[in-house]
Amino acid sequence: MAGSAGTPTSRVELTVSCRNLRDTDVFSKSDPICIVFHQPFGSRDWVELKRTECIDNTLDPDFATKIPLTYHFEEQQHLKFSLFDIDSGSTNLEDHDFLGDFECTLGFLVASQKVEKPLRNEQYSSSNNGSIIIVTEEVNSCKEELHLQLMAKNLENRSWFCALDPFLEFYKANEDGSYTLVHRSETVKSTKHPTWKEFSIPLSTLCSGDYDRNIQVICKNFKSSGSHKLIGKCYTTVRKLREGPVESNTYTLIHEERQRQKGSSYKGSGTMYVNKSYIREVFSFIDFLKGGMEINAFIGIDFTASNGNPQSTQSLHFINPSSPNQYVRAIQSVGEIIEDYDTDKYFPVLGFGARMPPTFDQVSHEFFVNGDASNPFCYRVGGVIEAYYGCLNRVQLYGPTNFAPIINHVARFASANKGGDKYFILLILTDGIITDMPQTKEAIVNASNLPLSIIIVGVGGADFEAMEELDGDVVRLSSNGRYAARDIVQFVPFRDFLKGNWDPHISRLMLAREVLAEVPDQVLSYMKANYIKPQPPKVEVNVPVTDVI
């Protein structure tokens, strides 16, 4: 609009590679992973933003995982890229060898488009720690993704002693003639006739939304040493791939060196076929909200004795009218955001770990905080806090800390509403270590295919390391051999937002941003997995007051 100023923002995507990394393994090469950190607006603390995949046995990794960011021209957005050699399944970075890092601003990357910079490692400051290459590209607004399954036949095996273990890499053509890795398939073991799993990729990533942009497909033979051998390559476009499994949509894989050696007798190193291909529209979180999707929030509060006597000033449940405790601040921080999306503003609030009146001889891990089983709802965040204060004077704090009952409670509601018109959020506030971890993991795995997200806020100074296992950002959660269908848990310790001299209001905003950041993607992952499309936008008709009178 004329006379106004729009905020200059863009969505960008970072692609990371490294060269000549330090080798910290004795009998093999390093297994590098890149961890990207950022400094949230108003903070100088580094917060983890994204992890790439780990690539085994290589000092020259090309990471397929993209780093999506929103670029704000008016902000200095500080980033740090840290490289580690992964030595075990631990998610704690202190358990792995640090290879080096590089710090810059997003503005520098956007202006440079492609940078190669040395990695810094103070432990080895006098020697070469390798370099990092970062390519930055603006992401267009294309709302389509390609679903693709490929197969190959008669791949050339030039080894007499080893079977082929083929995998594919997809590269997007850049304007300068170079290619950028956008996807790497799984490896199919011991075959010259592989069929790879179907995968999906946004067209904005694969071809910048251009159906005619060149795509390079490289087939390699996996080697545990990291020195993968080229089988052959071919070129295609999205326009060609979307034709699907037709006879004309086949590709001869060419190994250029073999072609030069054999001349006219060379017939290729195998043939690649399209087994399945279709383009699907991608919807946003806002599309579903506009279509009438309702957010239904449940709140679970820890009433175990490890919180301390509520009458004591040292208790996490201490009621101080002039200074709300951490439970109240967490309820306010997250609840006020969720309240905007909750249709009726009524929250069912559950408690766990307390002995119940009148006899106080039984521990309940699933009770209504307002004490009314026939109407367990609290109106808005103010009603939740009022019920919480009342409950502290009514129950006896006890234990242990069991999550499974309230997770299963909310899952029953989600199970009855799988059509996409409702989505459920369970906010759990707790001070301690879970004592029913096996049952909790099983409850989460069972709920992972339901329209449900679970947010856990750790209150107080306890050791919450075991909680990280539930947050499947790095290692997918499993129970009794079954893996979670998707990551539905976000864990955040509240103490991380009480450090330094942050203003309490800023701390609340930062907590809310952190714990709710994954919810939109979790909603979309459920909708996508169940082929649910948003309803047409609902139009609210406002009737003028004069017409009513």
Tens digit of each residue's pLDDT (9 = 90 or more) over 418-436? 999 999 999 999 997 889 9
Statement: residue 3 has pLDDT above 50: no
Statement: residue 503 has pLDDT above 80: no
Mean pLDDT over residues 328-356, rounded? 89
What three-state secondary structure class fits 286? helix
Q: What is the pLDDT of residues 359-411, one digit of tens each?
A: 999 999 999 999 999 999 999 999 999 999 999 999 999 999 999 999 999 99
- From residue 114, how far is each of 17, 27, 80, 184, 253 by CA, in Å? 11, 34, 16, 21, 30
Statement: residue 539 has pLDDT above 50: yes
Mean pLDDT over residues 96-110, rounded? 94
Sign of torsion over alpha carbons 178, 241, 222, 64: positive
Statement: residue 68 has pLDDT above 80: yes
Q: What does the radius of gyration of the chain's CA atoms come to, in whole angstroms? A: 27
Mean pLDDT over residues 276-286, rounded? 92
Task: Return the residue matching tokens 């009438």.
Answer: 292
Mean pLDDT over residues 72-81, rounded? 88
Of 514 and 543, the one with more pLDDT: 514
CATH superfamily of the 9-138 domain: C2 domain (2.60.40.150)
- From residue 313, how far is each of 6, 351, 408 by CA, in Å? 49, 22, 34
Statement: residue 517 has pLDDT above 90: no
Instruction: Give me 459's structure tokens.
Output: 């209150």
Mean pLDDT over residues 27-48, rounded? 88
pLDDT at 6 (0 to 100): 43
Mean pLDDT over residues 237-256, rounded? 95
Q: Residue 320's CB: how many other CB atoms inside 10 A? A: 9
Q: Does domain 144-281 sit in CATH 2.60.40.150?
A: yes
Q: Does the fold of domain 144-281 match that of domain 9-138?
A: yes
Domain ranges of the chain: 9-138, 144-281, 293-529
Domain formed by 293-529, architecture = 3-Layer(aba) Sandwich (3.40)
Mean pLDDT over residues 166-186, rounded? 94
Mean pLDDT over residues 245-271, rounded? 94
Confidence of residue 304 (pLDDT cuts 50, 70, 90): very high
Mean pLDDT over residues 3-19, rounded? 74
- Residue 536's Cβ-side half-sphere holds a number of Cα atoms within 13 Å equal to 2
| Rounded percentage of the chain residues whose pLDDT exceeds 70 | 94
Q: Do the Cβ atoms of 491 and 508 come closer than 8 Å? A: no
CA 319/CA 392 separation, integer angstroms = 9
Q: What is the pLDDT of residues 118-151, one digit of tens each?
A: 999 988 876 789 999 999 998 877 889 999 999 9
> Which H helix or E strand runs over 225?
none
| Nearest residue to 338 via CA among 480, 165, 523, 186 | 523
Task: Return the residue matching tokens 């250029």.
Answer: 256
Statement: residue 544 has pLDDT above 90: no
Mean pLDDT over residues 435-443, rounded? 95
Statement: residue 24 has pLDDT above 90: no
- From residue 328, how far is each of 376, 386, 387, 424, 429 by CA, in Å? 19, 10, 11, 21, 10
Confidence of residue 75 (pLDDT cuts 50, 70, 90): confident
| Nearest residue to 133 via CA among 37, 21, 57 | 21
- The region of weakest confidence among 282-286, 394-398, 508-512 is 508-512
Of 176 and 231, the one with more pLDDT: 231
Computed over every residue of the chain, the mean pLDDT equals 89
Q: Specify which residues 304 forms β-bridges with.
A: 398
Statement: residue 474 has pLDDT above 80: no
pLDDT at 546 (0 to 100): 42
